Amino acid sequence: MAFRVTLENGKVVETCCPRCALHYLETNHLIAASRAIFVSDSDVHPRATPETRRDPQGCCMMKTYDRCLPSLVAFAGKDDAAVFQKEHGGQLVAFQEIARK
């Protein structure tokens, strides 16, 4: 099962299902990395994305690498990041700290 979202700029985003498409539309907005607050190494791990490889039939996304781990989740504000951290663990880090590693 797959679902496509066409953005106002014409970009097409594929998701695995309608629920993920709606979630994408609800939560997708740009955050400048240099001003974001990150939670590193929480218990929330990224799902497969449209860039993730699919099987030969174009279905069933396959994980082909582990570079997304440990997780790194970006937030526009420290308060939201702290609430997420309280629920899911991890460490609050600024972009400058991540860039040095």
pLDDT in tens, 37-88: 999 999 887 654 545 555 565 565 555 556 667 888 889 999 999 999 999 9
Counted domains in the chain: 2
Is 2 in the same domain as 18? yes
Q: The tokens of 85 are what?
A: 């951290």
Q: Report which of residues 29 and 86 the model is more confident about.
A: 86
| Domain membership of residue 11 as a residue range | 1-30
Is 50 in the same domain as 62? yes
> How far is 58 from 43, CA to CA, in rounded Å?
29
Q: Report which of residues 67 and 36 the model is more confident about.
A: 36
The mean pLDDT of 33-38, rounded to a whole number, is 92
What b/e readout covers 58-79, taking b as 16+ CB neighbours within 10 angstroms? eeebeeeeeeeeebbbbbeeee
Is 44 in the same domain as 78? yes
